[in-house]
């Protein structure tokens, strides 16, 4: 009985996105305002995550790898800040032109937590 309760509690808390939900993305002007610091890489092989930027809000819902940029910080699910150094980044991102090319390429602590 206790094992079942603990299992249910773990499952419930593990589904909480911990404040990081991609989809609706807003670029902030300072690192301290960001949920995640992003470094843009020049090749897929250097990326942790390949991201497809969409014009459709509904395409981005529930997906780490598809981002829709919102105009207002209050509409954002995740606030990102682009850093100039790989060592300052939480995630290294490569922007792809096709949604089918988007997705995680390397393991990262944010994997599954950006949707």
Domain ranges of the chain: 19-104
pLDDT (tens place) for every residue of the chain, 115 residues total: 444 333 333 333 333 333 344 678 999 999 999 999 999 999 999 999 999 999 988 888 888 899 999 999 998 889 999 999 999 999 999 999 999 999 999 888 887 777 6
Structure pTM? Answer: 0.76
Rg from Cα positions in the chain = 15
């Amino acid at each position: 009985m206790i094992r079942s309760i603990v299992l249910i509690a773990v499952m419930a808390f593990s589904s909480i996105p911990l404040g990081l939900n991609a989809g609706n993305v807003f670029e902030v002007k300072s690192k301290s305002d960001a949920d995640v610091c992003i470094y843009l890489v020049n090749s897929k092989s250097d990326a942790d995550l390949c991201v497809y930027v969409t014009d459709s809000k509904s395409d981005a819902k529930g997906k780490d790898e598809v981002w829709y940029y919102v105009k207002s910080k209050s509409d954002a699910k995740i606030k990102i800040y682009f850093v100039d150094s790989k060592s300052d980044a939480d995630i290294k991102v490569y922007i792809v032109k096709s949604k089918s090319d988007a997705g995680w390429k390397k393991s990262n602590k944010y994997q599954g937590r950006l949707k």
